[in-house]
Amino acid sequence: MLTVSQLYLFPIKSLGGIAVSSAVVTDRGFANDRRFMLTDENDKFLTIRNFPKMWLLQPSLESEMLRIASLDYKIEDLIIPAQPEGAADRTVTVWKEKVDAHGLGPDANAWFSEVLGIKCRLVYMPDESLRPVEASSGFRPAGKVTSFADAHPFLMIGEASLRDLNERYLANSAPGTDELAMARFRPNIVFTGGAPYQEDEIIDFTINGVSFTGLENCARCNVPNVDPVTGVATSREPLATLSKYRLKDRKIYFGRDLIHTGTGEVRVGDEIILV
């Protein structure tokens, strides 16, 4: 039996995640997941890929507010509405896509600019802004939208897959090396049960009545090489280990990208029912 064992929200793209016991499924993914994003002065998105210290900015949800704390820079926490009001007032770029967004204003911009040491802006995706899901092949599933995620509403990884990776990684590491944490891979849904990499082959399934489809496997960039505790990429791991057995067509795969139909709630402990 496959069972949901961990759930994560990432309220602001590329910042730290929040472990939750349940999550509401909306039309574009989990509620409060990557509806915010940081951009540069030219409205182009910023990520851990280029600014790994973003990992050290930790959001937390407090009723209807979102608190952001810096784990390595002494500054008062930033507190903003978790679901800001206001229409889109600018167009931002995510990869090659143009997306309508609402700017949070000078106070939030100044806070992030000071902490990260770069001029940046915080934006929010209002409900009226609809960003289509697009697979790596260019295929766009009809009627599917997502937030400021790289491409898909959800990423799912099995605990067995991480255990297998850790066995391979530790076998070639110095004694006392720590295991790789699931957090490095930034999944939304983690499950227990099944074989390593079983998620690769999963297509249609339901969780608590919500229908999901595995659209494609997740090709990994350099983000997993950044230690979420330090915000530093100290080695080529875990991509170096993954490249030895998870490389296909010059891409390294780990995890499954999902789309969904319907809304509802997913909880830790829910069974994943394969269709």
Q: For residue 204, what is the domain's CATH number?
A: 2.40.33.20
Which pLDDT belongs to residue 154? 98
Which pLDDT belongs to residue 234? 76
| Closest by CA position to 57, among listed 11, 119, 120 | 11
Quote the number of domains for the chain: 1
Residues 87 and 102 sit within 8 Å (Cβ to Cβ): yes
Question: Per-residue pLDDT tens for 149-206?
Answer: 999 999 999 999 999 999 999 999 999 999 999 999 999 999 999 999 999 999 999 9
Q: Can you tell me the distance from the alpha carbon of 195 to that of 159, in angstroms, rounded to the nearest whole number?
A: 9
Which pLDDT belongs to residue 142? 86
Which pLDDT belongs to residue 140? 84
Which pLDDT belongs to residue 115? 97
Instruction: Please give the radius of gyration of the chain, using alpha carbons only, rounded to the nearest integer.
Output: 18
Strands 154-158 and 189-192: parallel
Coil, strand or helix at 107: helix
Domain of 167, in residue numbers? 2-274
Residues 77 and 112 sit within 8 Å (Cβ to Cβ): no
Q: How many helices and strands (H and E) does the chain possess?
A: 3, 21
Q: What is the pLDDT along the chain (275 residues), one digit of tens a residue?
A: 999 999 999 999 999 999 999 999 999 999 999 999 999 999 999 999 999 999 999 999 998 999 999 999 999 999 999 999 999 999 999 999 999 999 999 999 999 999 999 999 999 999 999 999 987 777 788 889 999 999 999 999 999 999 999 999 999 999 999 999 999 999 999 999 999 999 999 999 999 999 999 999 999 999 999 999 999 987 899 999 999 999 999 999 999 999 999 999 999 999 999 99
* Reported pTM: 0.96
Which pLDDT belongs to residue 135? 74
The one-character DSSP state at 185 is G
Q: Can you tell me the distance from the alpha carbon of 252 to that of 239, in angstroms, rounded to the nearest whole number?
A: 7
Using a 10 angstrom Cβ sphere, with 0-12 exposed, 13-18 middle and 19 or more buried, the burial of residue 128 is: exposed
The one-character DSSP state at 28 is T
Residue 58: CB atoms within 10 Å:
16
What distance, in Å, lies between the first and last C-alpha atoms of the chain? 13
